[in-house]
Each structure stands twice: as C-alpha cells, then as structure tokens.
Amino acid sequence: MRFTICTIAALAAVTSVVSGCGSDAAGPSNGPGGSQRTATFAIDSALGLGTSRIEIHLFPGELVAREAHVEADDLEEKIVSAVTAIDPGQGIITLELGGLTLTYGAGTRFRTDAESNATRAAWEAAVQSELSAGRHPLIEARRNPPAAPQAPDDASFTAADLRLKTGAGDPTIELYMDGDNLESASGTSAVLRVLGLVIEVNDRTSLVDDNAGGAVGSVEFGMGVTSVDAAAGTLTLANGTVVRVTSSTAISTAGDLLTLESTANAVGAGQPVRAEGRGTVESAGPPAVINAASLKIEVDD
C-alpha cells in the first residue's frame, strides 16, 4: 500500500481512521464493521511513509473527490471518464475529466461490451459515432503502473487497454501515489495534484477501505488470478485473497472467461487472468475469503 489520507499509514484498520482523525470522523458505514467513514478528517502531514494505490471517484463536473478508496496493490492503473473528442490520426482521446488527454497506439487492446478484442478502426468508429450523435461515451483506460509513482504534474497516460462502456459512471482515477501528490492540507480538507489535475478532498468526501482484512460487509476486489480450484469453487488473487464462487454469483458475460473451468485452463496455460467484482467478507483470514456476488474474469493479453 502506497499513500496516506488521514493517518492512512494504517487505514486498513478502521479504528486507526477514527482515533487518528478526531472524534467526528465516524460516518456512513458499508457494513457492521464500518468500512466507510465520512471524510471529516485531517490529512497526515507526514506522507513520506511510502506509496499506495488510491481510487478517487469524483463528483461529475467537479474536481472534488466523492470517495477516496485505499486499495490493495494491483497490476494496473485506471482512468474512467466520458469522452469529449477523439483524434484517430494521432491516437489521442480528450476526456471530460478536467480536459485530460490519453494516448493509445499499436500496443493498445480495444474492447467493447460486445467484443473483447475489437480492431482499432472499429473501436474508433464506435466512439466517433457516439460523439457525432451528441453523446459523450464512457471509456475505461488501463495501463501497467510505472516503476515509481508518476510525478504530480505529469499528465501523460498511454492506455494499454481501452474499453468502451455503456451506461453512466463516476469519473474515476486509480493510480499509485505518494506524498508528492499532497499539495496542501488544512483542517478537514486537502488538495491533491494527480496527472496535473488539482483535486480537492474535503468533508464531502468519503473514505472507503477496500482491504478485505479491514472490511466487514460489501467489498470490491480486482486483481490478477494466481490459481483456481474449480472443484472447490474458488480462485485465488495475487494478494492471497480467496474468492468463493457459488451458484448465486453473477458472472458477467462481458468478461473473456465465463466458468471456473475455463479460468483454470487459462491460468494453467500461463495467461494473465484478472478477476474483478464485489462480494461479502466471509473471513478476514489470513487468507481473506470473499463470497463473490458479482464477478468478471478477463484475459489481459
């Protein structure tokens, strides 16, 4: 884990959030253990404690964090936003999210809800069709994280994976950050600089701990898969978390793999398999065990 909001050197323990941030830190809860806390908090001035992967959901049309998630380490960084323009010749996409621009090229994989390996031309045409119709389509851009957190003023992001999504969604940034991203902190608010964008974190912001070991109730997960036991109905994530798949689990047809058997075959063949979804914590472990309510399994090749 590589960032610190509040006394987030130990945000995985909910009690650290409450005791480190003042008596009014407690707020809405995702479950009996209170894995979510309203962000009436002070930012720890000593952010040189390491780096962490932070997921920031923003209010639409504002550079204000609606939620700030401290996540387990992942193999990818991600941006979600509506598109305002695309330049196929240059491989540039302009986003509603602060006017941020993304680049893509020969190494980028293109996906739609109907096609997990679309051609670049077909994907660009789909985006242009939406824009021509007066709509701003939602995309999800992913990349492998750099060796060290990106400099706060560096706005570059080259997508290894571009997904055209249907429906609406919060503008979201999921990146590895460190103390350099904290521009200022005072009382219950702070200013973060990420990808050259100035993002405010204040008492409208909710903190969410996605670490299964510190959460009770509904949690999200998203990580590479290291092993699968189809007979037992489980898969194991890169951080050791065990995801239990039952007859009640809704496996997304938008994924590349639709059964644990096909997932086991892909993992056994050395393919980079990723699972993401939501569920409830059965056991804090170790290893943590999550009962999956929803699950999407993809091959990131």
Predicted local confidence at residue 252, as pLDDT: 85
Rounded mean pLDDT of the chain? 77
Decide if 1 contacts 12 (C-beta within 8 A). Answer: yes
Decide if 256 contacts 241 (C-beta within 8 A). Answer: no
**Where does CATH 2.40.50.320 sit in the chain?**
53-209
Predicted local confidence at residue 155, as pLDDT: 96
C-alpha to C-alpha distance for 292 and 294, rounded to whole angstroms? 5
Contacts of residue 95, defined as CB under 8 A and 6 or more positions apart, other chains included, come to 79, 81, 82, 83, 84, 101, 102, 139, 171
Predicted local confidence at residue 187, as pLDDT: 59
CATH architecture of 217-299: Beta Barrel (2.40)
Tokens of 100: 């941020």
pLDDT-derived band at 52 (thresholds 50, 70, 90) equals confident
pTM for the model stands at: 0.65
Decide if 217 contacts 30 (C-beta within 8 A). Answer: yes
pLDDT digits (tens, 9 = 90+) for 5-23: 333 332 222 222 222 233 2
Predicted local confidence at residue 220, as pLDDT: 77
Segment among 28-42, 194-208, 256-270 with least mean pLDDT: 28-42
Decide if 290 contacts 243 (C-beta within 8 A). Answer: yes
Beta bridge partners of 255: none
Predicted local confidence at residue 301, as pLDDT: 64
Query: Could you tell me the CATH superfamily of domain 53-209?
Result: Copper binding periplasmic protein CusF (2.40.50.320)
pLDDT digits (tens, 9 = 90+) for 182-217: 877 665 677 889 999 999 888 787 765 554 444 445
Beta bridge partners of 206: 38, 67
Predicted local confidence at residue 3, as pLDDT: 35
pLDDT digits (tens, 9 = 90+) for 58-112: 998 899 988 877 666 667 899 999 999 999 999 999 999 999 999 999 999 999 8
Tokens of 148: 């060290």
Tokens of 83: 């598109």
C-alpha to C-alpha distance for 277 and 220, rounded to whole angstroms? 6
